[in-house]
Amino acid sequence: MSSIASMFDRISPKYDTLNHLLSFNMDKVWRCKTAKTVSTFCPQTILDLATGTADLAIALAKHNPKAHIIGIDISEKMLEIGRAKIVKQSLENQVEICFGDATRLPFSDNSFDAVTVAFGVRNFEDLDKGLSEISRVLKPNGKVFILEFSMPGRFPVRQVYNLYFKHVLPKIGEWVSKDCEAYAYLPQSVERFPKPDDFCQNLSSFGLENCKVKPLTFSIATLYSAEKKVVIGERSALFSYFCALKRKLNEKEILICSHRHFWLGLALDGTTR
Ligand SMILES: C[S@@+](CC[C@H](N)C(=O)[O-])C[C@H]1O[C@@H](n2cnc3c(N)ncnc32)[C@H](O)[C@@H]1O
């Protein structure tokens, strides 16, 4: 089991309470905004990655009553809590959630009208692989919606937020969850996450174009959306993944290995068209 999965397993009983408490309930507003934005383009099939305790999957079901929603996550304990909420709200026919890794999706190419992720991509052990998989399973012209924390840029919000996020929040998180790792990891992972422009470029390198960036609540969170553009002779998601891998690796030896992967990607690309 990955260390991320066991960390979320450990904090799962307190996850929802802490989410609402530490964000002053803004997390509910942000998920609701995401679900409403998704509904404007009327998807029939939605895949919610890193679904956790299913709050976004449930909000999606309410705002998209005709859509079928599948949620996947690598933490069984988070999923258990999510399943109980789905049953309590009688949404079993519309929402199903199961174990699955976003970087190795068990779905065939071009399966979903929309893919959503709330506060999840930051935790992927291989972000590029996750984006490549999102692009692969989206139907042509399908859309991805990614809700993620960001850092406010403006004085004095940035300074106040930094103080809260780096010093107060980890202490409350540790005190309530009794886990010192998880809530120290949160600000660190947000700081490591690419800035909005870089993240849009990242999406674009996987064929996810027209990236729109919507800052929420002083840019504490950001909603990204992008569209899978398909043109004839387009690069497959797998090919794009190898291109991104190649861009990233600088060491000579790794480059040789990456070149092999690149050509393997190219060969596979030919077979997947
Ligand atoms: C911060 S929680 C977000 C949960 C939920 N989306 C929400 O809005 O509250 C992050 C979730 O990402 C999941 N996760 C991390 N890496 C994953 C991966 N590679 N595949 C699927 N889920 C993953 C974790 O298990 C955890 O449940």
Summarize pLDDT for 3-47 with one digit per residue, the tens: 999 999 999 999 999 999 999 999 999 999 999 999 999 999 999
Share in percent of the chain as helix, strand, coil (round to 5): 55, 20, 30
pLDDT over threshold 50, residue 260? no
Helices (H), 70-193: 76-88, 127-137, 157-163, 169-177, 182-192
pTM exceeds 0.95, yes or no: no
pLDDT digits 0-9 by tens, 111-134: 999 999 999 999 999 999 999 999
Write down the H helix ranges in the chain: 3-22, 26-39, 55-63, 76-88, 127-137, 157-163, 169-177, 182-192, 196-204, 237-248, 252-272
Distance 156 CA to ligand 1 centre (A): 31
CA of 52 to the centre of ligand 1 (A): 5
73 alpha carbon – ligand 1 mean position (Å): 6
Neighbours of 249 (CB within 10 A): 16
Q: What is the pLDDT of residues 185-216, one digit of tens each?
A: 899 999 999 999 999 999 999 999 999 999 99
- Judged against a pLDDT cut of 60, whether residue 62 lies above it is answered with yes
Structure tokens given for 68: 């079928």
Residue of 27, 85, 119, 186 with the most ligand 1 atoms within 8 Å of its CB, for mutation: 119
236: which residues sit within 8 A by CB, 6+ positions away?
A: 136, 268, 269, 272, 273
Residue 117 Rama label (left phi>0; alpha psi -120 to 50; beta)? beta
The radius of gyration of the chain from alpha carbons, rounded to an integer in Å, stands at 19
